[in-house]
Amino acid sequence: MENLLKVGMAQIAPVWLDKSATLNKIYETIGSAAKENTELLVFGEAFLPGYPFWLAYTDGAAWDLKVNKELHAHYARNSIQIEAGDLDEICALAKKNSMAIYLGMMERARDRGGHSLYCSLVYINREGEIKSVHRKLQPTYDERLTWAPGDGHGLRVHPLKQFTVGGLNCWENWMPLPRTALYGQGENLHVAVWPGGVHNTKDITRFIARESRSFVISVSSLMRTSDFPKDTPYLDKILAKAPKVLANGGSCIAGPDGEWLVEPIADNEGIFYHTLDFNRVYEERQNFDPVGHYSRPDVTKLMVNRERQSTVGFEE
């Protein structure tokens, strides 16, 4: 039925900072989700190849510190270049299984020189096509020591059966204007991806759902020190200060009335499933629609720059 959508939340741990091994884990996860007839599968923020947890435990803001430089270089080597075909197998699996995918990843963007890192959220449709790459607009706090700020090019929504789906990274979900940019394009299924933590998802998920009268899926990763590969640079330094659990999950789903469909799930690893019924969107939009009958564009209006930013433009 076109009004029903089965979604899967991949609350799993990456093989931290290891691109190849994490890609293999993604392939396996897609295969498992396909057996459950999943139509939309979501991975957490920066899942491929992992969140830069070391910054909090290695004096990350210290100037010219060798440990931070070497870890950043390791991160860059294990980040993704879409132009080089790094996501081709994921796209092929999406097409094979008629499954849409939202994937949080570290992008080493060639159109920005190929050396800086962007926290990107990629949408792959059920035909295996990459339809948007949203680079996080504003890295949060210590993330700015290793991630670059993105642009508005990826503020886009996509048709998926009767739904219109869009997504944001982590604390971008607290930014009213990017949310509004998605609402204004007809979003009614909002995907919020996080590095992990019930403290992140327990309030904002329901708030966005009630504000937008949309379904909201928050998907978080897990991360424990036991998930750190033994060959991680400076592993001993990281382990000396890191807690055993760095991210406890918190994946959840709220309905268009702001009430829980799946309450935040903590400490459990796996793919968690739920089927959404689009009719609930129409029901809740009856009394509130933030960009429709309950808006006043003659008084307040948002303008969005979706141009992909680059330092150099060439004319032949």
With tokens 């508005």, the residue in question is: 152
Neighbours of 50 (CB within 10 A): 28
Going by their DSSP bridges, the two strands 158-160 and 215-220 should be labelled as unpaired
The neighbour count for residue 91, using CB atoms within 10 Å, is 19
> How many whole angstroms separate alpha carbon 147 and alpha carbon 41?
25
pTM confidence score: 0.96
Q: What is the pLDDT along the chain (316 residues), one digit of tens a residue?
A: 899 999 999 999 999 999 999 999 999 999 999 999 999 999 999 999 999 999 999 988 889 999 999 999 999 999 999 999 999 999 999 999 999 999 999 999 999 999 999 999 999 999 999 999 999 999 999 999 999 999 999 999 999 999 999 999 999 999 999 999 999 999 999 999 999 999 999 999 999 999 999 999 999 999 999 999 999 999 999 999 999 999 999 999 999 999 999 999 999 999 999 999 999 999 999 999 999 999 999 999 999 999 999 999 899 9
Name the active-site residue from 45, 172, 187, 284. 45
45 is catalytic: yes
Instruction: Please tell me whether residue 199 adopts helix, strand or coil conformation.
Output: helix
170 catalytic residue (yes or no): yes
- Domains with residue ranges and CATH for the chain: 4-285 (3.60.110.10)
Q: Residue 184 forms beta bridges with which residues?
A: none
Our CA angle for 45, 108, 191, nearest 5°, is 25
In the set 91, 119, 170, 252, the catalytic residue is 170
Terminus-to-terminus CA distance in the chain, angstroms?
50
Q: Out of 136, 143, 187, 252, pick the active-site residue.
A: 136
